[in-house]
Amino acid sequence: MIESVDEHVVRRLGQWEDPDDRIPDERVSTEDLLALFDAQAQSRHLDLAARWLQSQGQGFYTIGSAGHESNAAVAMALRPTDPALLHYRSGGFFAARAAQVPGSAPVADVLASLVAAVRDPISGGRHKVFGSHDLSIIPQTSTIGSHLPRAVGLAFSLDRTHALGLPCPWPEDAVVVCSFGDASANHSTSVGALNSAGWCAHQGVPLPLLMVCEDNGIGISTRTPGGWTARALSSLPGLDYAQVDGDDPEAALLATRELAGRVRASRRPAVLHLRTVRFMGHAGSDAELAYRTRTEILAEYDRDPLLATARALVARGALTPAAALDRYESARGRVMALAETMIGAERLDSPERVMAPIAYPLVATRTPIPRDLALEESTGRPLTLAQTINATLAEVMTERPATTVFGEDVAVKGGVYGVTRGLRKAFGSARVFDTLLDEQTILGTALGAALAGLLPIPEIQYLAYLHNAEDQLRGEAATLAFFSDGQYRNGMVVRIAGLAYQRGFGGHFHNDNSIAVLRDIPGLVLAVPSHPADVPELLGTCVALAHDEGRVCVLLEPIALYHTRDLHEDGDQGWLAGADAIGAATSAGHAFGRARLHGDGRDLLIVTFGNGLPMSLRVARRLAGEGIGATVLDLRWLAPLPVHDLTRTAAEFERVLVVDETRHSGGVSEAVLGVLHDAGHPGSIARVNSHDSFIPLGPAAGAVLLDEDSIADAARQTMRRSRTAPR
């Protein structure tokens, strides 16, 4: 039987046998060492309380900070106005920062989070996180370093926001701090963030970021090779590097103070390699003896940062061992007294309460459904889809000075398809800029920019490229409001060039019709403009949602329609829109959740979106020649679906055909049919899709993509079906 780390601390302090005869470092005050010890003791007893609460059936999280409490020194080297994005073993940091802000209640806050109580002041009972709006700690649930791109983006944006003269939540000389483990340092997201930080530093771009790797030498049960972390982190170009042992409190306080000060003054990123230990296993269910020997576990007890701080205080004569034990036990008493009050705490008990921070805004449904916008209704220079997006972006950037546009090739080149052409010249390099080729960095920049007070509109060059970084939207962007109970939000509009029908050009990576991941993210808004006349409303609405509600929005732009001009015949200019409506539409922001009708046929309703819209309109004309009157409903919004407009329009038709250019399995049509079924549609409902295939290069693409002949055949077959129930 191995004594617990708590028993070890009590025994060692009660039977002090190894006095430290080192000469105290006068650069570290006794007051700082006492504050460090108190933060470490508080964190240690919160870990013990987490296990006790679990044993009572009241606690739901047991990943602790025991052994990592030296990270309290990092908080003490910073200010409570320095934004922090923390590793999940950051109890010491949280305690030390709270001590810097009068009126804080860190013990009660952490305990409430452990028991998923509604009173938890950061997440409202949704998750155990280290977070606090008052302490500038932005909550993270990441265990693999996926918060690091956001940290880089925030550091990148701080100085930029101030330079633009825009309001920023943090001071002009603020430093961003983020922490992660040695195992997580190997994750591609962390490696990408470290690379992008070095990329900025190499070019002299201000990036006040302190990245703290808390190295305990093991990831759950997988050991980190000896020397690997130091070799990897110290060799990063452009990044200052310092290493310190967590069981040397004076050195830790000095190293963190020096490095944080250097980052603040130079506005350059740095890495602190903080060597720690891990006590009590990975989490409550982790049986450490299954993969570590008794000797190894006991050897790490000698590196306990809490005992090391006590030793330094005893060496100074500031505490006796008995006084240190009393201080430790006093912390236990305070923590456990509050832990007992958490028994039976109120918890979230309804879908509405759980989902409140990410609930979609209300949709105005009393007004008539919007109908088609013909070219002749507008005046001014006719614009293509790409030109309308460009003009709308220019209008948005003029109206909202905090708007920034960035991504790969968007600045000097103006985008692969010219969609952002001229914006850099018009608005300057501080607001329109190119990034390195890394989608995680692009989205992480947006995540940080939004926190810094900017309104980011990043571009992902192709939909297929998003899949390299989709967790930045799912696990970081969309969850922030959820896990902070709406106290932190990162409103943005992500522009993605996507979908297919580029006549076989580019193959899979340039023709991607897989959008299931975007529709599966709670709270995310997904819009697809097909006709140029829809762009001002849809993009303008997304901008309003991002700015006013902190909503994460995605504008999926059909590449094949970017430069389309005609609809039915060459020269008819049926796929253009007048430039005069852009300003009014972008200011209105009223199109959320509204579909659009095209045509007035009464025999068949065709429900579609994206490239399906022009194809369906052409098929509708063909069907009209056969005596079949079809109306086309453009969904425009795919997340959430425009349920009200869809159901009330479908109710007027005996037959409905869903035309879906995405895949048969996992495509949009499945959800549309589900909505109509749930609404009790009494008539015939059918769908036609592209095949369940990646899209090949060249003419073979046509073999798997939905085409107009398939749509027409499906429409005729639907018309032959008899009504399934009386209307």
Catalytic residues: 510
Q: What are the two backbone dihedrals, phi and then psi, of residue 592, each rounded to the nearest 5 degrees?
A: -60, 130
Q: What are the two backbone dihedrals, phi and then psi, of residue 83, each rounded to the nearest 5 degrees?
A: -60, 140
Radius of gyration of the chain (CA): 29
SS3 83: coil
Task: Extract the tokens encoding 531.
Answer: 């006709």
SS3 343: coil
Cα–Cα distance measured from residue 634 to residue 529, given in angstroms and rounded to the nearest whole number: 9
* Burial class of residue 429 in the structure, from the number of CB atoms within 10 Å of its CB (0-12 exposed, 13-18 middle, 19+ buried): exposed
Could you give the angle at the alpha carbon of 571 between the alpha carbons of 568 and 574, nearest 5°?
50
CA 61 to chain centre: 22
Residue type, 177: V
**Residue (of 360, 343, 357) closest to 487 by Cα position:** 357
Question: What stretches of 293-371 show up as alpha helix (H) in DSSP?
Answer: 294-301, 305-316, 321-341, 351-355
**Residue (of 283, 323, 324, 277) closest to 304 by Cα position:** 277
**Residue (of 306, 300, 332) closest to 319 by Cα position:** 306
E-only strand ranges, 11-124: 84-85
| Region at 275 (left for phi over 0; alpha for psi -120 to 50; beta for the rest) | beta
| 262, 298, 612 from 84: Cα distances, Å | 17, 33, 45
Neighbour count for residue 707 (Cβ, 10 Å) = 16
Using an 8 Å Cβ cutoff, are 637 and 592 in contact? Answer: yes
| 40, 161, 335, 355, 357 from 109: Cα distances, Å | 16, 31, 11, 21, 19
| 303, 488, 524, 534 from 88: Cα distances, Å | 20, 18, 25, 44
Using an 8 Å Cβ cutoff, are 93 and 130 in contact? Answer: yes
Neighbouring C-alpha atoms within 13 Å toward the C-beta of 387:
14
Cα–Cα distance measured from residue 492 to residue 457, given in angstroms and rounded to the nearest whole number: 6
Beta sheet of 432-434, edge-to-edge order: 432-434, 403-407, 455-460, 492-498, 552-558, 525-527, 637-639
Q: What are the two backbone dihedrals, phi and then psi, of residue 501, each rounded to the nearest 5 degrees?
A: 70, 35
**Residue (of 568, 476, 426, 519) closest to 189 by Cα position:** 476
Question: What is the torsion angle, in degrees rounded to the nearest 10, for the CA atoms of residue 115, residue 117, residue 120 and residue 123?
Answer: 90
- Stated as kind and residue range, the H or E segment containing 31 is helix 30-55
Question: What stretches of 187-248 show up as alpha helix (H) in DSSP?
Answer: 188-202, 228-234
Cα–Cα distance measured from residue 124 to residue 337, given in angstroms and rounded to the nearest whole number: 22
